[in-house]
């Protein structure tokens, strides 16, 4: 009996060995060499028989696309977008008007008239170049340094001032800190303070547009510092896997608050991350308004036609401080800032282009600078005369039906002001 059992076990072992030998033989026939492409579902690659780690610096660097040099000369005529004179003038006037508004509101904060401000010095080309390439109905998610996009779309100076001053004419009713703009009419989503929250939100909006066959795209702006946030990576991955018509527009201006790029990442900028997520990507000269325009226009066209995301990294430089809460002289030299301000500024580059075409001259420059300052100062002075929103607006627009707890707080404030209103500057507020 024991002998019979042993024989059966021996036969089973021989059979298993035969199966394994046959399976190995079939594998060898199917994959005769290491060069045979594997069939793993998670990646598409080839086998190799050498041990090599991927070096992050194998490539010399992803190139920077540009159309004109620093003197405004077109480098390749085939890349000239051939924009009409009135469009180029609008680009230039928007950039310079934004620059004038920045200077006046920055000084306003320094004088204690508003609580906070962020300038856009040096990055104006990324704003208007991309804005001009979009459809007016495309949805914009900004970070906080995209005022030029809103200005290009026609947002009036009065509302810029209203938001920064938080007076009764502010569409946000004074509830947001300055430079947190928003406009439903101009399809510009109200800015949020936390970095990168807008990135997954933009992807969700783009996915909804795709499902509605809306023939629209979403553009989402952020800085290279915000690209280190987890929301950025989640947004990239969702956009790629869900095939969303969204343009990720990264303004790489060299510094995230007081942190230089050398301390933010070790890879080749932000655009190098795009292929890793399966996103078509390009790096452009952000101080070249035509390069920004061309890249955004083509990415927008393909995003809508093909339902896929694009990543644009616009290389530029933040000439101003990060905000009025920052002193950039503590972490960078004056010479470095002066170089970018005087040698490679998007406004001067476009001015050279217009001068070369005969569309602009020194007399028109002087007249426009005077006129733009007048416009900003008029809006500024009007904003200072406006009252603050009514304190009762603290309790509105949050719930459709006011909950009991919030109603008690509202009534409590009203009683408090009736008793002690003399101690508050209520004359400065709307009733």
Whole-angstrom CA distances from 397 to 168, 175, 193, 401, 406 are: 15, 11, 19, 9, 12
In a shared domain, residues 372 and 418: no
In a shared domain, residues 138 and 256: yes
Quick one: which H or E segment has residue 218? Answer: strand 218-223
Longest distance between any two alpha carbons in the chain, whole Å = 114
Quick one: which H or E segment has residue 59? Answer: none
Q: What is the pLDDT of residues 75-94, one digit of tens each?
A: 999 999 999 999 999 999 99
Spatial separation of the C-alpha atoms in residues 422 and 133, rounded to whole Å: 54
339: left (phi over 0), alpha (psi -120 to 50) or beta: alpha
In a shared domain, residues 369 and 416: no
pLDDT exceeds cutoff 60 at 162: yes
In a shared domain, residues 361 and 403: no
Per-residue model confidence (pLDDT) at position 33: 54
In a domain, residue 271? The reply is: yes
- Find, among 179, 49, 55, 65, the residue nearest to 114 by Cα: 179
* Least trusted range by pLDDT, from 105-109, 175-179, 394-398, 416-420: 394-398
Spatial separation of the C-alpha atoms in residues 53 and 51, rounded to whole Å: 7
In a domain, residue 335? The reply is: no
Mean pLDDT on 321-350: 95
Q: What is the pLDDT of residues 395-413, one digit of tens each?
A: 999 899 999 999 999 999 9
Whether the CB-CB separation of 260 and 301 falls below 8 Å is answered with no
Whole-angstrom CA distances from 202 to 56, 140, 225, 283, 328 are: 30, 8, 18, 21, 31
Whether the CB-CB separation of 233 and 241 falls below 8 Å is answered with no
In a domain, residue 59? The reply is: no
pLDDT > 70: percent of the chain: 90
Mean pLDDT on 67-78: 96
In a shared domain, residues 314 and 416: no
Name 250's bridge partners: 222, 313
Spatial separation of the C-alpha atoms in residues 192 and 348, rounded to whole Å: 31
In a domain, residue 21? The reply is: no
Q: What is the pLDDT of residues 267-308, one digit of tens each?
A: 899 999 999 999 999 999 999 999 999 999 999 999 999 999
Spatial separation of the C-alpha atoms in residues 64 and 72, rounded to whole Å: 17
Give the pLDDT band (50/70/90) at residue 42. Answer: confident
pLDDT exceeds cutoff 50 at 19: no
82: left (phi over 0), alpha (psi -120 to 50) or beta: left
In a domain, residue 301? The reply is: yes
Whether the CB-CB separation of 186 and 212 falls below 8 Å is answered with no
Q: What is the pLDDT of residues 95-112, one digit of tens each?
A: 999 999 999 999 999 999
**Could you say which DSSP state residue 196 is in?**
T
pLDDT > 90: percent of the chain: 84
pLDDT exceeds cutoff 60 at 15: no
In a shared domain, residues 417 and 274: no
In a shared domain, residues 128 and 148: yes
Could you tell me how many residues make up the chain? 431
Mean pLDDT on 26-44: 60
Per-residue model confidence (pLDDT) at position 36: 63
Per-residue model confidence (pLDDT) at position 337: 95
In a domain, residue 55? The reply is: no
In a shared domain, residues 315 and 395: no
Residue-wise over 367-376: b if at least 16 C-beta within 10 A, else e? ebeeebbeeb
Alpha helix stretches (DSSP H) within 75-116: 85-110
Whether the CB-CB separation of 89 and 358 falls below 8 Å is answered with no
Per-residue model confidence (pLDDT) at position 27: 44
In a shared domain, residues 109 and 143: yes
Give the pLDDT band (50/70/90) at residue 59. Answer: low
Give the pLDDT band (50/70/90) at residue 24. Answer: very low
Give the pLDDT band (50/70/90) at residue 41. Answer: confident
Per-residue model confidence (pLDDT) at position 80: 97
Q: Domain tally for the chain?
A: 2
Q: What is the pLDDT of residues 199-253, one digit of tens each?
A: 999 999 999 999 999 999 999 999 999 999 999 999 999 999 999 999 999 999 9
The helix, strand and coil proportions of the chain, stated in percent and rounded to the nearest 5, come to 50, 10, 40
In a shared domain, residues 140 and 170: yes
In a shared domain, residues 320 and 395: no
In a shared domain, residues 93 and 126: yes
Whether the CB-CB separation of 252 and 223 falls below 8 Å is answered with yes
Per-residue model confidence (pLDDT) at position 1: 45
Per-residue model confidence (pLDDT) at position 320: 96
Q: What is the pLDDT of residues 357-381, one digit of tens each?
A: 999 999 999 999 999 999 999 999 9
Spatial separation of the C-alpha atoms in residues 275 and 75, rounded to whole Å: 28
CA triplet 51, 52, 54: central angle to 5 degrees? 150
3-state class of 326 per DSSP? coil
Quick one: which H or E segment has residue 57? Answer: none
Q: What is the CATH number of the domain that holds 216?
A: 3.40.50.970
Q: Which residues are catalytic?
A: 107, 193, 322-323
- Find, among 307, 250, 260, the residue nearest to 284 by Cα: 250
In a domain, residue 44? The reply is: no
Whether the CB-CB separation of 267 and 273 falls below 8 Å is answered with yes
pTM (2 d.p.): 0.88
In a domain, residue 85? The reply is: yes
- Find, among 246, 354, 359, the residue nearest to 306 by Cα: 246
Backbone angles phi, psi at 239, to 5 degrees: -60, -40
Q: What is the pLDDT of residues 116-134, one digit of tens each?
A: 999 999 999 999 999 999 9
Q: Which domain holds residue 404?
A: 391-428
CA triplet 41, 46, 47: central angle to 5 degrees? 105
- Find, among 156, 229, 220, 231, the residue nearest to 188 by Cα: 220
Spatial separation of the C-alpha atoms in residues 31 and 49, rounded to whole Å: 13
Mean pLDDT on 350-354: 98
Q: Rounded mean pLDDT of the chain?
A: 91
Per-residue model confidence (pLDDT) at position 14: 39
């Amino acid at each position: 009996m024991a002998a019979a059992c042993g024989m059966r076990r021996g036969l089973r072992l021989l059979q298993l060995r035969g199966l394994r030998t046959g399976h190995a033989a079939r594998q060898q026939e199917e994959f005769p060499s290491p060069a045979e492409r594997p069939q793993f579902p998670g990646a598409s690659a080839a086998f190799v028989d050498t041990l090599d780690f991927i070096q992050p610096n194998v490539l010399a660097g992803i190139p920077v696309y540009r159309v004109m040099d620093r003197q405004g000369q077109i480098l390749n005529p085939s890349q000239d977008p051939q924009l009409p004179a009135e469009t180029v003038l609008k680009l230039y006037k928007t950039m310079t008007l934004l620059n004038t508004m920045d200077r006046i509101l920055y000084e306003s904060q320094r004088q204690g008239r508003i609580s906070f401000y962020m300038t856009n010095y040096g990055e104006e080309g990324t704003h208007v170049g991309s804005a001009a390439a979009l459809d007016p109905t495309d949805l914009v998610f900004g970070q906080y340094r995209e005022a030029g996009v809103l200005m290009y779309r026609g947002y009036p100076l009065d509302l810029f001032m209203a938001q920064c001053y938080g007076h009764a004419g502010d569409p946000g009713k004074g509830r947001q800190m300055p430079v947190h703009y928003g406009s439903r009419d101009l399809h510009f989503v109200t800015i949020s303070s936390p970095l990168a929250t807008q990135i997954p939100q933009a992807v969700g909006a783009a996915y909804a547009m795709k499902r509605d066959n809306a023939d629209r795209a979403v553009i989402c702006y952020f800085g290279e510092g915000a690209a280190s946030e987890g929301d950025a990576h989640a947004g990239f991955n969702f956009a790629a896997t869900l095939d969303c018509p969204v343009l990720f527009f990264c303004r790489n201006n060299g510094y995230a608050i007081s942190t230089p790029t050398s301390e933010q990442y070790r890879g080749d900028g932000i655009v190098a991350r795009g292929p890793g997520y399966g996103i078509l990507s390009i790096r452009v000269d952000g101080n070249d308004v035509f390069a920004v325009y061309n890249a955004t226009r083509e990415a927008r066209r393909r995003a809508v036609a093909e339902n896929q995301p694009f990543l644009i990294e616009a290389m530029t430089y933040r000439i101003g401080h990060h905000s009025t809460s920052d002193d950039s002289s503590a972490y960078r030299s004056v010479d470095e800032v002066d170089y970018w301000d005087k040698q490679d500024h998007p406004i001067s580059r476009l001015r050279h282009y217009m001068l070369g075409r005969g569309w602009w001259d020194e007399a028109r420059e002087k007249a426009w600078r005077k006129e733009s300052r007048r416009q900003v100062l008029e809006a500024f002075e009007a904003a200072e005369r406006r009252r603050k929103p009514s304190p009762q607006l603290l309790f509105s627009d949050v719930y459709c039906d006011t909950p009991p707890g919030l109603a008690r707080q509202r009534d409590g404030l009203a009683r408090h002001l009736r008793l002690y209103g003399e101690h508050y500057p209520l004359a400065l507020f709307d009733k």
